[in-house]
Structures are given as C-alpha cells and as structure tokens.
Amino acid sequence: MKKLPVFLLSAFLISFLASSAFSLREERGIMEVFVNLKVYDEKGTLIKDITMRDPLTQAMGGFINRLFSGASATDESGTSRSLGTGVGGPLYICVGTGSPVNPAYSDYKLVYPLQCVQASQATMSIVGNRGNISLSASFTFSQQYTITEVGLRKYLSYNYLLAHDALPSPVTVPAGGKLTVTYIIRINSGV
C-alpha cells in the first residue's frame, strides 16, 4: 500500500519523460552540413576529434539559390554582390581565433582569421537515396594556437564565407601539431 504513491509518481514521470523525448527530438534537415576537426600532436597521435552541425551563412544561401537561379551574396568585405554564373573558383577552409557571437546567417567573415587553406577536391558519393559531398584541409602550426572558429570560403571573383561556426570548446593545436578540418554535406539526409 505504501508503494502506491511511488507507483503513481513513476507513471507520471515515465509519461512526462516519454513526451519530453518526443517533443525535444531533433528536427532533421533535408540537407545538412557537418564539420569535423581532428587534432594531432607533433608525433602524429590523434588527441582530439569533434564533429558538429554547421550553421550556414547568407552567402551559402545565395550560393545554393544560385543553383536554381540568379542570386546575390555579401562578400568578405561586407559588400553585397550579384553572384555570376561561374562556379570553379577555389574553395578554402579557414580557422580562426576569434569569438563569434551567435555565428549565423549574417556572418560574412571570420572574427579573427588565422589561416585559410585550399580544400582538397570535393568528393561525392551516393548511398541509397542519399548524396554525400566531403572536402577537407590540413593545417600545421609552428607554434601552439587555440582555435575557436572555423569557416568555409569560396572565391568567385571575391571571397564569400559559406559557413561559419564557433567551436563548442576551444581546440588547442600544439606547436608542430596538425589540425584536419573536414566538411561533410549530406543531401536527402532525412530519407
């Protein structure tokens, strides 16, 4: 008999938790962009590996929209420009030491860029009804740096920042160490 209140409270809590899990489930995008960072020490040993979803900027919006029709975007100088039809400009991955405040759509440059490296050629794969595109870049540093932001930059006569994010926690790359940043774009990711 004494167990009755516990039983009733348990029923309430289980129901509440189940409902919360349903309400708080992550809404998935149809195309998602992830960024992965791997930090190696000077001996080549992996010392940190993090993956996060990356917010897209207004320039990425324009870049995507341009695949459907004409579009404009803000370049890294803050100037709004009409994007032409060319697409073959070099693509860079940038890392920085700034502290972006709520990095998002309106960003057009890193807060404090440290280094930009031309990304490896993008690779594409189709798995089932999903498409995957990935590209990466490696950074080596002669002295220790603490990286706090990453970005994806496309050059189309001007530099455009397509994605920008603050790292969930700063990543320290030791002197002589290496940082690898990989962008992964998943298309039809909800299938």
Among residue numbers 79 through 138, which ones bind another protein (CB under 8 A)?
A: 84-91, 104-106, 118-119, 121-122, 124, 126, 128-131, 133, 135
Interacting positions 143-182 with another protein (CB under 8 A): 154, 163, 165
C-alpha pair distances (Å), 131 with each of 14, 145, 177: 38, 35, 33
Least separation in angstroms between CB 56 and another protein: 5
Nearer to another protein among residue 31 and residue 47 (C-beta): 31
- Whole-angstrom CA distances from 150 to 19, 33, 109 are 36, 13, 10
Kindly determine how many residues on this chain lie close enough to bind another protein according to the rule CB under 8 A. 73
Q: How far is the CB of 181 from another protein (least distance, A)?
A: 15
Q: Which residue stretch of 8-16, 37-45, 142-150, 169-177 sits at the interface with another protein (rule: CB under 8 A)?
A: 8-16
| Interacting span for another protein (CB under 8 A) from 57-65, 74-82, 109-117, 139-147 | 57-65
* Burial class of 63 by CB neighbour count within 10 A (0 to 12, 13 to 18, 19+): buried
Site string for another protein, 11-50 (x = CB under 8 A): xxxxxxxxxx-xxxxxxxxxxxxx----------------
